[in-house]
Amino acid sequence: MENAVLMDEVCLTIPMDHDMELVAAKTGSVLAELNHFNEEQIEEIQYAIIETCINAFEHSQSEDRKVYIIYIRRADELECKITDNGVGFTPEDQHNSISQRQGIHSDMRKRGWGLEITKTLMDEFDIESGENGTTVSFIKKVTS
Amino acid sequence: MLNKFDIQIRAEQEYAVLETAGYLNDSLGEQLSKKAQELIEKGYTQLVINLDKTALINSIGISILIEIIEALDERNGTLNFCGLSATQERTFRMMAIAKYAGIFPDEKTAIANF
Protein backbone atom coordinates (compact mmCIF):
# COMPACT_ATOMS: atom_id res chain seq x y z
CA MET A 1 0.00 0.00 0.00
CA GLU A 2 2.85 2.38 0.87
CA ASN A 3 4.37 1.81 -2.57
CA ALA A 4 1.12 2.96 -4.18
CA VAL A 5 1.49 6.48 -2.80
CA LEU A 6 5.29 6.71 -3.04
CA MET A 7 6.19 9.07 -5.88
CA ASP A 8 9.92 9.71 -5.47
CA GLU A 9 12.75 9.03 -3.10
CA VAL A 10 15.78 11.29 -3.31
CA CYS A 11 19.01 10.78 -1.36
CA LEU A 12 21.50 13.54 -0.71
CA THR A 13 24.76 13.59 1.23
CA ILE A 14 26.18 16.93 2.30
CA PRO A 15 29.47 17.72 4.01
CA MET A 16 29.26 19.55 7.32
CA ASP A 17 30.53 22.76 5.79
CA HIS A 18 29.36 26.33 5.94
CA ASP A 19 26.03 26.93 4.17
CA MET A 20 25.73 23.30 2.98
CA GLU A 21 22.38 23.24 4.80
CA LEU A 22 21.14 25.50 1.99
CA VAL A 23 21.80 22.72 -0.53
CA ALA A 24 19.63 20.40 1.54
CA ALA A 25 16.94 23.06 1.97
CA LYS A 26 16.89 23.89 -1.74
CA THR A 27 16.47 20.21 -2.66
CA GLY A 28 13.58 19.96 -0.20
CA SER A 29 12.07 23.12 -1.63
CA VAL A 30 12.14 21.75 -5.21
CA LEU A 31 10.48 18.50 -4.12
CA ALA A 32 7.89 20.43 -2.13
CA GLU A 33 7.12 22.57 -5.17
CA LEU A 34 6.58 19.40 -7.22
CA ASN A 35 4.10 18.30 -4.55
CA HIS A 36 2.20 21.60 -4.84
CA PHE A 37 2.91 22.79 -1.32
CA ASN A 38 2.13 26.48 -0.96
CA GLU A 39 4.84 29.11 -0.51
CA GLU A 40 4.52 29.24 3.28
CA GLN A 41 4.69 25.45 3.61
CA ILE A 42 7.77 25.33 1.37
CA GLU A 43 9.42 27.91 3.60
CA GLU A 44 8.53 25.87 6.69
CA ILE A 45 10.08 22.76 5.12
CA GLN A 46 13.25 24.71 4.32
CA TYR A 47 13.48 25.99 7.91
CA ALA A 48 13.02 22.48 9.33
CA ILE A 49 15.77 21.10 7.07
CA ILE A 50 18.14 23.97 7.82
CA GLU A 51 17.69 23.68 11.59
CA THR A 52 18.08 19.90 11.63
CA CYS A 53 21.22 20.03 9.47
CA ILE A 54 22.76 22.78 11.60
CA ASN A 55 22.06 20.73 14.73
CA ALA A 56 23.95 17.82 13.19
CA PHE A 57 26.82 20.12 12.09
CA GLU A 58 27.16 21.62 15.56
CA HIS A 59 26.49 18.74 17.92
CA SER A 60 26.95 15.34 16.26
CA GLN A 61 30.77 15.19 16.54
CA SER A 62 30.61 12.73 13.67
CA GLU A 63 33.95 11.58 12.32
CA ASP A 64 32.86 11.50 8.68
CA ARG A 65 31.54 15.10 8.90
CA LYS A 66 28.60 14.26 6.64
CA VAL A 67 24.83 14.48 6.86
CA TYR A 68 22.67 12.00 4.95
CA ILE A 69 19.24 13.12 3.85
CA ILE A 70 16.46 11.01 2.36
CA TYR A 71 13.48 12.87 0.93
CA ILE A 72 10.41 10.72 0.42
CA ARG A 73 7.78 12.35 -1.75
CA ARG A 74 4.31 10.87 -1.48
CA ALA A 75 1.09 12.08 -3.05
CA ASP A 76 0.02 14.13 -0.07
CA GLU A 77 3.18 14.68 1.95
CA LEU A 78 6.94 15.09 2.00
CA GLU A 79 9.02 13.16 4.51
CA CYS A 80 12.65 14.00 5.35
CA LYS A 81 15.00 11.71 7.23
CA ILE A 82 18.19 13.48 8.27
CA THR A 83 20.95 11.28 9.67
CA ASP A 84 24.41 11.81 11.09
CA ASN A 85 26.88 9.19 12.28
CA GLY A 86 27.76 11.10 15.40
CA VAL A 87 27.71 10.42 19.12
CA GLY A 88 23.96 10.83 19.60
CA PHE A 89 22.28 12.69 22.40
CA THR A 90 19.79 12.23 25.22
CA PRO A 91 16.98 14.59 26.26
CA GLU A 92 19.17 15.45 29.27
CA ASP A 93 22.06 16.52 26.98
CA GLN A 94 19.65 18.78 25.16
CA HIS A 95 18.33 20.30 28.41
CA ASN A 96 21.87 20.98 29.69
CA SER A 97 22.86 22.56 26.39
CA ILE A 98 19.83 24.88 26.49
CA SER A 99 20.44 25.85 30.14
CA GLN A 100 23.93 27.07 29.29
CA ARG A 101 22.67 29.41 26.61
CA GLN A 102 20.35 31.77 28.46
CA GLY A 103 20.47 35.44 27.65
CA ILE A 104 19.39 38.42 29.76
CA HIS A 105 15.74 37.36 29.52
CA SER A 106 15.26 33.71 30.50
CA ASP A 107 12.33 33.23 28.11
CA MET A 108 14.36 34.60 25.19
CA ARG A 109 17.20 32.08 25.22
CA LYS A 110 19.71 32.40 22.42
CA ARG A 111 20.34 28.83 21.30
CA GLY A 112 18.93 25.35 21.49
CA TRP A 113 15.84 26.09 19.39
CA GLY A 114 16.53 23.97 16.32
CA LEU A 115 14.55 20.86 17.16
CA GLU A 116 11.72 22.85 18.73
CA ILE A 117 11.37 24.97 15.59
CA THR A 118 11.34 21.87 13.41
CA LYS A 119 8.79 20.13 15.62
CA THR A 120 6.49 23.15 15.57
CA LEU A 121 6.65 23.69 11.81
CA MET A 122 6.14 20.04 10.79
CA ASP A 123 3.09 17.78 11.10
CA GLU A 124 4.97 14.71 12.34
CA PHE A 125 8.34 14.58 14.05
CA ASP A 126 10.54 11.82 15.44
CA ILE A 127 14.11 11.40 16.71
CA GLU A 128 16.11 8.20 17.00
CA SER A 129 19.43 8.74 18.67
CA GLY A 130 22.09 6.37 19.94
CA GLU A 131 25.83 5.94 20.17
CA ASN A 132 26.07 5.41 16.39
CA GLY A 133 24.27 8.56 15.40
CA THR A 134 21.00 10.39 15.17
CA THR A 135 18.15 10.36 12.68
CA VAL A 136 15.59 13.14 12.78
CA SER A 137 12.50 12.40 10.69
CA PHE A 138 9.66 14.75 9.92
CA ILE A 139 6.67 14.90 7.64
CA LYS A 140 4.87 17.89 6.16
CA LYS A 141 1.43 17.21 4.75
CA VAL A 142 0.01 19.02 1.77
CA THR A 143 -2.94 21.15 2.85
CA SER A 144 -4.85 23.51 0.63
CA MET B 1 20.85 30.04 -4.22
CA LEU B 2 24.43 31.12 -3.51
CA ASN B 3 24.45 33.10 -0.36
CA LYS B 4 25.20 36.65 -1.46
CA PHE B 5 24.48 38.96 1.39
CA ASP B 6 24.43 42.67 1.95
CA ILE B 7 23.50 45.19 4.62
CA GLN B 8 22.23 48.67 3.77
CA ILE B 9 22.07 51.33 6.46
CA ARG B 10 19.81 54.36 6.44
CA ALA B 11 20.65 56.53 9.44
CA GLU B 12 18.30 59.41 10.24
CA GLN B 13 18.50 61.79 13.15
CA GLU B 14 16.32 59.80 15.57
CA TYR B 15 16.64 56.27 14.28
CA ALA B 16 18.52 54.01 11.88
CA VAL B 17 17.35 51.25 9.57
CA LEU B 18 19.48 48.21 8.78
CA GLU B 19 18.23 46.34 5.74
CA THR B 20 19.63 42.85 5.17
CA ALA B 21 19.69 40.85 1.96
CA GLY B 22 20.60 37.15 1.81
CA TYR B 23 20.61 34.20 4.18
CA LEU B 24 20.83 35.41 7.77
CA ASN B 25 23.29 32.91 9.22
CA ASP B 26 26.30 33.39 11.51
CA SER B 27 28.26 35.33 8.84
CA LEU B 28 25.58 37.86 7.96
CA GLY B 29 24.50 37.94 11.62
CA GLU B 30 27.99 38.90 12.79
CA GLN B 31 28.22 41.66 10.17
CA LEU B 32 24.79 42.92 11.15
CA SER B 33 25.72 42.86 14.82
CA LYS B 34 28.91 44.82 14.12
CA LYS B 35 27.01 47.50 12.21
CA ALA B 36 24.29 47.68 14.88
CA GLN B 37 26.95 48.04 17.60
CA GLU B 38 28.58 50.87 15.66
CA LEU B 39 25.23 52.67 15.45
CA ILE B 40 24.57 52.08 19.17
CA GLU B 41 28.01 53.47 20.02
CA LYS B 42 27.16 56.57 17.97
CA GLY B 43 24.13 57.03 20.23
CA TYR B 44 21.35 55.42 18.21
CA THR B 45 18.89 53.67 20.51
CA GLN B 46 16.05 53.20 18.02
CA LEU B 47 16.87 50.68 15.34
CA VAL B 48 14.81 48.97 12.66
CA ILE B 49 15.98 45.72 11.07
CA ASN B 50 14.25 45.23 7.74
CA LEU B 51 14.28 41.55 6.72
CA ASP B 52 12.21 41.95 3.57
CA LYS B 53 15.09 40.79 1.33
CA THR B 54 16.13 37.99 3.68
CA ALA B 55 14.28 34.88 2.59
CA LEU B 56 15.90 32.52 5.09
CA ILE B 57 17.21 32.88 8.63
CA ASN B 58 18.73 30.18 10.78
CA SER B 59 18.64 29.97 14.55
CA ILE B 60 22.30 31.06 14.82
CA GLY B 61 21.36 34.25 12.94
CA ILE B 62 18.39 34.73 15.27
CA SER B 63 20.65 34.32 18.32
CA ILE B 64 22.71 37.25 17.03
CA LEU B 65 19.53 39.32 16.62
CA ILE B 66 18.83 38.58 20.29
CA GLU B 67 22.25 39.97 21.18
CA ILE B 68 21.33 43.21 19.40
CA ILE B 69 18.05 43.36 21.37
CA GLU B 70 20.05 42.87 24.58
CA ALA B 71 22.58 45.56 23.64
CA LEU B 72 19.73 48.01 23.05
CA ASP B 73 18.00 46.90 26.28
CA GLU B 74 21.07 47.97 28.21
CA ARG B 75 20.60 51.52 26.86
CA ASN B 76 16.81 51.53 27.16
CA GLY B 77 16.63 51.37 23.41
CA THR B 78 14.17 49.72 21.05
CA LEU B 79 14.55 47.34 18.15
CA ASN B 80 11.71 46.96 15.68
CA PHE B 81 11.67 44.31 12.96
CA CYS B 82 9.81 44.53 9.68
CA GLY B 83 9.47 42.60 6.44
CA LEU B 84 9.26 39.17 8.07
CA SER B 85 7.63 36.27 6.28
CA ALA B 86 4.83 34.42 8.07
CA THR B 87 7.22 31.61 9.05
CA GLN B 88 9.87 34.03 10.29
CA GLU B 89 7.29 35.87 12.39
CA ARG B 90 6.01 32.59 13.82
CA THR B 91 9.56 31.57 14.73
CA PHE B 92 10.30 34.96 16.32
CA ARG B 93 7.14 34.71 18.41
CA MET B 94 8.02 31.15 19.46
CA MET B 95 11.43 32.37 20.62
CA ALA B 96 9.85 35.20 22.69
CA ILE B 97 11.53 37.85 20.54
CA ALA B 98 8.17 39.57 20.10
CA LYS B 99 8.13 40.30 23.85
CA TYR B 100 11.32 42.35 23.70
CA ALA B 101 11.26 43.77 20.16
CA GLY B 102 8.55 45.08 17.87
CA ILE B 103 7.37 43.20 14.79
CA PHE B 104 5.74 45.28 12.06
CA PRO B 105 4.72 44.57 8.50
CA ASP B 106 6.73 47.34 6.85
CA GLU B 107 9.47 49.88 7.50
CA LYS B 108 7.12 52.86 7.69
CA THR B 109 5.04 51.24 10.45
CA ALA B 110 8.16 50.06 12.28
CA ILE B 111 9.53 53.63 12.34
CA ALA B 112 6.17 55.12 13.36
CA ASN B 113 6.03 52.80 16.38
CA PHE B 114 9.13 53.93 18.29
Q: Chain B residues with CB inside 8 Å of A28's CB?
A: none
**The 3-state secondary structure of B68-107, one letter per residue:** HHHHHHCCCCEEEEECCCHHHHHHHHHCCHHHHCEEECCH
Alpha helices per DSSP H over chain A: 2-5, 20-34, 39-59, 91-99, 114-121
Whether A29 shows a pLDDT value over 90: the answer reads yes
Asked if the ipTM is above 0.85, the reply is yes
User: Which CATH number goes with the domain that contains B94?
Assistant: 3.30.750.24
Q: Chain A residues with CB inside 8 Å of B62's CB?
A: 113
Reported as a single tens digit per residue, the pLDDT across A49-108 is 999 999 999 999 999 999 999 999 999 999 999 999 999 987 677 666 555 556 667 777
- A107 contacts B97? CB cut-off 8 A: no
Q: Which domain holds residue B96?
A: 6-112
Do the domain assignments include residue B10? yes
Q: Name residues whose C-beta falls within 8 Å of residue A45's C-beta, 6 or more positions apart in sequence.
A: A25, A28, A29, A32, A37, A78, A80, A121, A122, A140
In whole numbers, what is the pLDDT of chain A averaged over residues? 90
Number of domains in chain B: 1
Do the domain assignments include residue B1? no
Distances (CA, A) of A100 to A96, B43, B100, B112: 6, 31, 21, 37
Whether B2 shows a pLDDT value over 60: the answer reads no
A134 contacts chain B (CB < 8 A): no
- pTM of the prediction? 0.92
What is the rounded distance in angstroms from the CA atom of residue A110 to the CA atom of residue A105? 10
Distance between B17 CA and the closest CA of chain A, angstroms: 23
B56 contacts chain A (CB < 8 A): yes
